[in-house]
Each structure stands twice: as structure tokens, then as C-alpha cells.
Amino acid sequence: MAGASPPLCLVVLVVCLLGFSGAADMNGELEITWGGDRAKFLDGGNELTLSLDRGSGSGFWSRNQYLFAKIDMQIKLVPGNSAGTVTAYYLRSEESKWDEIDFEFLGNLSGEPYIVHTNIFVQGKGDREQQFYLWFDPTADFHTYSFLWNPKNIILYVDGTPIREFKNMESKGIPFPKNQALRLQSSLWNGDSWATWGGRVKIDWSQAPFTAAYTNFNDDQACIWSSSASSSCAASSKDDSWLSQQLDSAAHQKLEWVHKNYMIYNYCTDFKRFPQGLAPECVTQG
């Protein structure tokens, strides 16, 4: 975006959706955006699948956009030899200098662990990658992957366990995504130029189609962006405690457990990549 613009929250109204949206019929909440019949709603809309073959991948997005949200989705990742595939699950704005909060699940050779690649973009600038191994087989069953994005912090969860925390430190001059509405998106695509061991392992197309499955989408605690809303999240009389939720000491212990045992890359320790100095938030958070 050229020049300064007023914060989105000052020029649009926001409504807080706090009633339970339900797990059934995600067709009303999610929209297939590309890939043709490679993306499908199943079981009356209770499940959605994305597939990748040599011709194309596929994707969907949420019909709603959000200005702060707590969102859950259960995902079963591509099984078997999924090397080179990327299952992306993220929140992203539509502006040219975009904000984005990422989970990207990097496929593997059979028997090797999946890597969860995470990143946070503010005004089009990322370079905040952290990567983790999962402590279970994410292809054997559905597991819950969650975003908590509020004015105080961003927290990424796996089955309720926090794996990443990014605090709002604007008071220290560190940008934080808060002025652009984000839409939940997911896609399954060919990332074999970089995904598995830096692109050294390519997709084995004899294993195609590759399929990931989604269920139990839940945005029942989210501020829905709307140009015609009559109230904001802050004005809601319902429970909006999630808008100020942060990690307590027990949750921080779980976060530290993940970082100690399963973190395999942290931009906050990569002096070789950033010889000019680490990002300023790395001084106070890892």
C-alpha cells in the first residue's frame, strides 16, 4: 500500500461472533477457491478434502474475514510418502503489504516425521520462521491446529499445546498485525523446490493423488469483519475473554517443553542468516 492509511479498525466496523458455529456442514463456512474437483465436501459438509496431483493442487478459504480470532480446525495430513507436498493452513490479509500467520506442514518420506513450518508476516515482511517436528503421526488421525490472535499476542496451538508465541511489542517499535482483516485459507500444493530437506527430495508422482482432510472448523470466538456491522467485539456483552488471553505459567511450561524437544529451527538463533543482527523481538522472546 502506498503511503500511510488509517487503521482498518477505524474505517470499518467489526462484529464479534460468539455463538457456537457448529461442526456440521462446513460448506456454509468455507468456500473452495481452486483446484476443481480436487477439493470436495464430504459427509454432508462435515468433512472437506484437498488433493494434489501432477495437474494441480487445490485450496479453500473461509467465507468470513476476521479482525482478531480464535480458530480451530482438525486436519489429517497426507499419509505415506508425501515428500515435496505442502499443506498450508494460514490466516492472510488481501492487501499488497499483507499480514499473515502460517502453519505449513512439510511432507516427508514414509517413516520420517512431518515438519511444521511457521511464520508471521507484518506489512509484507516475514523472515520469522520457526520449525518443529510433531510428537505424533499427523496422518493417522485428525488433530486440532489452532490460531489465537488478539491485541496482546499470537499463539499457535497443536491439540491445545502452544508451540509458538508472538507478543505485541509495539511499545518497543516492533510491528504487530492488528489493522488488516485476515481470512483463513488452506491449500495443498507442490513445494518440492524447497519443502523436503531444502528441496533435495522431489515428489513421487506415482503416489498421487495426495490428499489431506479437514473437519470440525470452529470460529465461534472471532471478530467478523463487516462493512455493515452495527457493533464491535469490544462492545459485545458476551464472553470475550479470549480477546485478552495470554499464556499462563502452566502453558509457558508446555511451550518450553515443545521448544526443548521438538523445535528444529528458530530465526531468533540464526546468526548466520542474519549477520546484521537478529530481529528485535528475539531479545525478549524466542
Phi, psi of 55 (to 5 degrees): -80, -35
Residues facing residue 161 across a β-bridge: 158
Is residue 182 within 8 Å of 109, Cβ to Cβ?
Answer: no
Burial class (CB in 10 A: 0-12, 13-18, 19+), 51: buried
- Known catalytic residue at 47: no
**Catalytic-labelled residue, pool 29, 47, 100, 165:** 100
- Known catalytic residue at 29: no
**Alpha-carbon gap, residue 207 to 44, rounded angstroms:** 28
**Catalytic-labelled residue, pool 29, 94, 95, 104:** 104
Q: Which helix (H) or strand (E) holds 263?
A: strand 263-266
Is residue 240 within 8 Å of 224, Cβ to Cβ?
Answer: no
Catalytic residue set: 100, 104
